[in-house]
Amino acid sequence: MIPVTGVEGRSIAVLGLGRSGISAARAIRAGGGTPVCWDDGAEGRARAEGEGFETTDLTRSGAFEGVAELIVSPGIPHLYPRPHPVVAAALAASVPVDNDIGLFFRSVGVEGLPKVVAVTGSNGKSTTSALIAHILQEAGRPVQLAGNIGRGVLDIDLPGEGDVVVLELSSYQTELARALTPDVAVFTNLSPDHLDRHGGMGGYYAAKRRLFSEGGPDRAVIGVDEIEGQFLAGQMSEGAGDDRVIRVSVERRLPGPGWSVVARKGHLAEWRKGRQVGSIDLRAVKGLPGSHNHQNGCAAYAAARALGLSPKVIEAAFHSFGGLPHRSELVAERNGVRFVNDSKATNVDAAAKALQAFERIRWIVGGLGKEGGVAALEPYLGSVTKAYLIGHSAREFAVQLTSIPVEICEDMATAVDRAAAEAEPGETVLLAPAAASFDQYPDFEKRGEDFKRLVTELP
């Protein structure tokens, strides 16, 4: 645990008592503060009370008298589409609002001197973060992985000098954190997502950008295959040759004298001052299938190089990386048919990348659709033999998918049975929903686990 600094003798309100909220309350108490906890759900309040924390209804009048600040869990709106009533009350009372990420950065800066690598972006954050941590571990560097993946950021062991902390950070976390000081910051890519929480695409980009503009990292690894990444790289650099910015692309060779890592046709190449200084054949790396994973590999490679690791050490670690669950995860191969779980493909951009990674696809798609549905996937359907539609948006998606055969299956069990029955040797049954899971599952992990269970139970 990392005790929070600067809270001794102060009352700190904590809103939301899930993983990050409870860990924040523990860390505040360890730092000598008094957590005042609240959750809209009785289960969360009971969990906190079971650990001896005081719970107080923060929606009541006068609840913020004597409270120094409010710590908010990432799932709770603090600005758009409208602030949670407790957040609104704190702002009205001039009480600062922060989150566990802000507490981490302000506390680690005092208590230890680790290197911190922070990864954000729309897609690929988890794989990139896990791969960076894996590379460091294989290289013998003390490393901990936390944030939006694995452990809560304040639950990790207090790092010391020479240690590395790798953080996956969502836009919810980067937007609110009052302290952001990573040594290496990584921006994978940007595509429309969570727009209701950020008031549109501009607000979403601004939330990601804070990690760089507020954080002032020593090195910035930035994917430049979208205009937002190109703009961010331009803002962070003093010129074309400024090697504090490492540009990443899987679409083209990047010109100029700067530092870049690119992947084309499965080959990663590192360029510095106009010369190639490292390369890896990514086609042989089983844990990174498809161009989207090649982008993740490039970003992780760049971050590891920024920390001083050699190309040979990084390449060896790539080959021992097994990938993450629910992200292009090969579940089984039966009678020449592969079953792949990409439940994490919760938006159109992620689904497009999954559809480009495989040939002859039986596609399981659907759930709680996002704005625009799946119409934007039309250019990526060339490898799809048939789509099997599930969930709340099944009929809406069926109307949009006019160029391929579709079947409305409603639920996962029916979709898996139908796809498996019709699949021929050499085909891939791919779960890439292009939608949220909340209509039928609590999260994308549970959706992916259901898919995997059903595949293992096939006759």
> For the chain, what percentages of helix, strand and coil (3-state, to nearest 5) are there?
35, 25, 40
147 is in an annotated binding site: no
125 is in an annotated binding site: yes
Token output for 156: 């990790």
Sign of the alpha-carbon torsion through 455, 431, 229, 169: negative
Q: What are phi and psi of 55, to 5 degrees?
A: -115, 130
Q: How far, in Å, CA of 282 to CA of 262, rounded?
A: 11
Helix (H) or strand (E) holding 269: strand 267-272
Q: Which residues contact 234 (CB under 8 A, 6 or more apart)?
A: none
81: preceding bond cis by omega (within 30 degrees): yes
Residue 338: C-alpha distances to residues 243, 247, 386, 426 (Å): 42, 34, 15, 8
Nearest Cα to 390, choosing from 447, 348, 335? 447
126 is in an annotated binding site: yes
150 is in an annotated binding site: no
Q: Which residues pair with 271 in a beta bridge?
A: 260, 276
320 is in an annotated binding site: no
* CB-based burial, 292-316: b 16+ in 10 Å, e otherwise: bbbbbbbbbbbbbbbbebebebbbe
Binding-site positions read: 121-127
Binding-site positions for ATP read: 121-127
